Chains A and B, each alone.
Chain A
Amino acid sequence: MSRIDDRFHELKAAGRKAFIPFLTAGDPDLDFTAQALKALDEEGATFCEIGIPYSDPIADGPVIQASYSRALDQKIKLDNIFAMTATIGQEIQAPLITMVSYAIIYKRGLKQYIQDAQKSGIDGAIVPDLPVEEAGPFSALCKEADFSLIQLITPTTPADRVEKILATTSGFLYYVSVTGITGERKTLPTDLADRVKRLQEKTTLPICVGFGIHQPEHVKTVSAVADGVIVGSAFVKRVATAKTDPTAALTDIREYTQRMVAGLSSK
């Protein structure tokens, strides 16, 4: 049982849903990221997703891509990020999950990445460019180490692949609400609830929904059917001004988190 599993058990017992914000590590610098993680934790984030900046993120929209560029411009290295999470991880309640390209994991070494991440207080990984066909070796190592490998299912995933993906997923399932890249959307697909319900029939894993979500109203709708809500670009956008005024950005993040968390449904 990983810390992520434990947390979902607690939520379920309490009839609550998960709120999962996303931040890019090192945008605009790692000190700010640490402060922001603390703020998110205090305002009720269940887990925090940390984007490991990558030079060529093909699944990300302009907001997250620009944020990765800002972080990489600071010459931030993976080991600096791990050092930051190792410290902050001890001060906050919310388990940390990295969103990381397989290019970075492969370069570090599959086993080494898991070891280094775990030593640094990280409980799982979302690897957007590692589809189930390629996930075998990494998935086996994650299982061995009790490191959650959170896999994605999208609206274009054919039914026969769903089973395969579920078999290699741990922690929770990441359901991508839309066909496309990360980023805010005015409206969410109307059949989202049906799609999530159909997935729930196939698995006991918690299902969290991400991509496009940025309003309390979205949180309300999505958390009524899913086990958690993931919000990325909307947070990253709020961090974009942090370089000139970090205090204002932190206040903004706090207020936004409060409004979004208030939208969570309970049952």
Chain B
Amino acid sequence: MARSLPIARPPLLDEALGPGGPIVVFDQVHLSFDDKVILRDVSFTLRTGHTKIFLGASGAGKSTILRLILGLLKPDAGQIFVNGEQVDNMSEDDLMGVRHDLGMVFQEGALFDSLSVRENVGYKLFEELNWKPAEANQRVEEVLGFIGLAEFIDRRPSELSGGQRRRVAIARAMAAKPRILLYDEPTTGLDPITSITVDDEILKLRDLEGVSSILVTHQLRDAFYVAEHTANRNGGEVTFERASPEKSDEAEFIMLRDGGIAFEGNAGELRAVAARDPYIQAFLS
């Protein structure tokens, strides 16, 4: 029998963090390296099933936010809550539990090049959750089928193209069915066609699996595509269409500038602000 996924939460917490609940919360988070301020009083809330899209120039602290959520970095001040647990002062051992409900797609994929695609995608199932090999293999095949790379299961990451590696990275992040997925520049350096296939994976996970997502990017095309489209399942087929205004309001943009939040709002508001603010306008054009 297949294991129950995702990992169980206490019932009260599960209710509190149901649809629309605050699944990731940043409260006045401050971080600096030596004298350089990376984040200054950053606060935001990601609601269950929604999407946050972080925009900003290189070095604006976008990727740092993802690393803070994972607990790979610790803030100098402020509080961070993930899945109802405060992670900013948690020990590495306790963080391992929190990370079981998080999936991260690293820039360039960060696949383990000593392992095959199967071992990469099933890494957490085989090594950390100690699934039976048959169950884990079944899940790996299911996930690779989902992203359309089933025939590459026994390849090495070095034998894949850049876009395929990115999609395998998404497969690895989603294999253990985390409730939250973090994407660090998933489409940077990919051609527009491949970028759309990656974006579609993000939509499928969000709209069909109910995953809450945080997307860090400076590819505006992809940011708006993810915000303004939705995935639907009609029978066995998945289709992508323009989202209703209410649905696209569930995707919020945050623009970071000099460590602070320069803008926060939906796609329409971002376009409106761009008309007034020269910096955002320069960024969007």
A associates with B: no
Listed in ascending order, the chain B residues whose CB lies under 8 Å from chain A are none
